[in-house]
Amino acid sequence: MAALGAGGSAAGLARLRRVARTLWGWRARRGLGQEAGAAGGGEGGRPAFTDEVVQSLLCKMTGLNLQKVFRPVKMELKPPKYKLMTEAQLEEATRKAIEEAKEKLVMPPVLNEREPIDDVLAEDKFLEGTETTKYVFTDLTYSVPHRERFIVVREPNGVLRKATWDERDRMIQIFFPKEGRRVIPPVIFKDEHLPNVFRQDRHEDLLNMCIAQFEPDSPDYIRVHHRTYDDIEKHAKYDLLRSTRHFGGMVWYLVNRKKTDGLLIDMIHRDLLDDTTSLITLYHMLHPECQSAKEAKVQKLQGIDLIKVFVKTESQKEGYVQLALQAYEEAMATSTGS
């Protein structure tokens, strides 16, 4: 499984992305795809995380800062390599780097929490009292995907049931170990130790570790992600996740819970007006019944007008956003004037 992402040429990886897109696209079209947990109930026409439009908006907001994506990490010290290139070669190298960065910025799926498994296959009462421990039987066929692998547990009272999700994850990790995943999840993912990580501004590292350790639909994965997003929103540390693969998930979470004000202010401070318009468009897509959505549709607003209408009707921290907008407009006026 690790070979999927690590090796392969750009063509192979592009093929994988196409496959993923068709898979997600198919699921979204069929209506069978799992959509993110939203504030309201999921309706038929509601946009999902995996929709093309939504993904394009989130990608635009994430941005692509090559310096941040390919920043040096602590590793074995080697002498630096220097290459002498022409302009054309440099452009080619930059293009390749952008492609590689896009692969690295593929967003992890946002799913609902999985349903617990509690199916009983047999109840052989005559086995009661013969054993003192549970027995776990795992199907070890190599070519079977892990989600289609049968794992059953025989209890001491004779009941043969399907293994729970925790037991499944543990058994699959024991027999088919994955890189970066431990059989017993590390202590860092417990609620009492998360603040230690947040204090050091290591949200991105934590989310990467979470992706490595848990399945995307497990309750621990969702809990850690939500705590991280809450902490970022509380301290306005949005820039930590910009240009990483977690930014899209964070924006989706915030827009679903209508907590977009801090992000809006941050974007205006950094002069990212396009991102603000994309954010508000996404908000209107997800909450079409809100007043600003209706006004925008009627009046076909663009740019700053859209932001102003949104701020007037939907935001909780109206004052701060207005201040930021004013500062931006003044800066624009002085720069154009001078």
Partner 1 sequence: MRRCGKMAPAGGTTALLRAVVGGLRGPGRPLWARDAPQLCSTQAATKAPPTPPSPYQEKPWAYLESEEYRATYGDNPVWHGYRRNHKGAIPPQRTRKTCLRKGKLVGNPCPICRDRNLHVDFRNVKLLDQFICPHSGIIFHPTYTGVCMRQHKLLSKAITQAQEHGLLWLQVPYVPVPQEDFSNRHPAVGKTPPAPTLAPGHPWYPWYEWQPPPAADIARMRRLYKDYLKEKEPPPAVGTPMDTPPAPCVEPRGE
| Interaction between residue 194 and partner 1 (CB under 8 A) | yes
For partner 1 (CB under 8 A), the number of binding residues is: 65
Please compute, for residue 205, the number of CA atoms within 13 A of its CA located in the half-sphere on the CB side.
10
Out of 10, 19, 183, 327, the residue judged to bind partner 1 by CB under 8 A: 19
Q: How far is the CB of 111 from partner 1 (least distance, A)?
A: 6
C-alpha closest to that of 10 among 119, 146, 104, 108: 104
In DSSP terms, which residues pair with 122 in a beta bridge?
A: 160
| Interaction between residue 184 and partner 1 (CB under 8 A) | no
- Residue closer to partner 1 by CB (options 98, 332) is 98
| Interaction between residue 25 and partner 1 (CB under 8 A) | no
Contacts 24+ apart (CB under 8 A), 291-296: none
CB 279 within 8 A of CB 263: yes
Q: How far apart are CA 160 and CA 164, in angstroms?
A: 12
Provide the angle, in degrees to the nearest 10, between the axes of the packed helices 273-286 and 247-256: 50
Q: Which segment (207-215, 232-240, 297-305, 321-329) binds partner 1 by CB under 8 A?
A: 207-215
Residue 329 CB neighbour total at 10 angstroms: 12
For tokens 């992402």, name the residue. 5
Q: Which segment (26-34, 129-137, 265-273, 325-333) binds partner 1 by CB under 8 A?
A: 26-34
C-alpha closest to that of 187 among 213, 217, 218, 167: 213
Q: Which segment (86-94, 103-111, 263-271, 310-318) binds partner 1 by CB under 8 A?
A: 103-111
Q: How far is the CB of 14 from partner 1 (least distance, A)?
A: 13
- Scan residues 115-144 and list those touching partner 1 (CB under 8 A): 115, 117, 119-120, 122-125
| Interaction between residue 37 and partner 1 (CB under 8 A) | no
C-alpha closest to that of 252 among 103, 115, 51, 66: 51
Q: Which segment (58-66, 201-209, 276-284, 298-306) binds partner 1 by CB under 8 A?
A: 201-209
Residue 43 CB neighbour total at 10 angstroms: 8
- Residue closer to partner 1 by CB (options 115, 289) is 115
Out of 38, 64, 106, 136, the residue judged to bind partner 1 by CB under 8 A: 106
Q: How far apart are CA 17 and CA 7, in angstroms?
A: 14
| Interaction between residue 149 and partner 1 (CB under 8 A) | yes
Q: Which segment (94-102, 128-136, 192-200, 226-234) binds partner 1 by CB under 8 A?
A: 192-200
- Residue closer to partner 1 by CB (options 26, 135) is 26
- Scan residues 247-286 and list those touching partner 1 (CB under 8 A): none
For 61-109, give the DSSP string.
Answer: HH---HHHHT---S------------HHHHHHHHHHHHHHHHHHTPPPP
Q: How far apart are CA 307 and CA 213, in angstroms?
A: 39
Residues within the interface to partner 1 (CB under 8 A): 1-2, 4-6, 16, 19-20, 23, 27, 32-34, 73-77, 104, 106-109, 111, 114-115, 117, 119-120, 122-125, 145-151, 162, 165, 168, 178-180, 186-188, 193-194, 196-197, 200, 202, 205-206, 208-209, 211-212, 215-217, 245
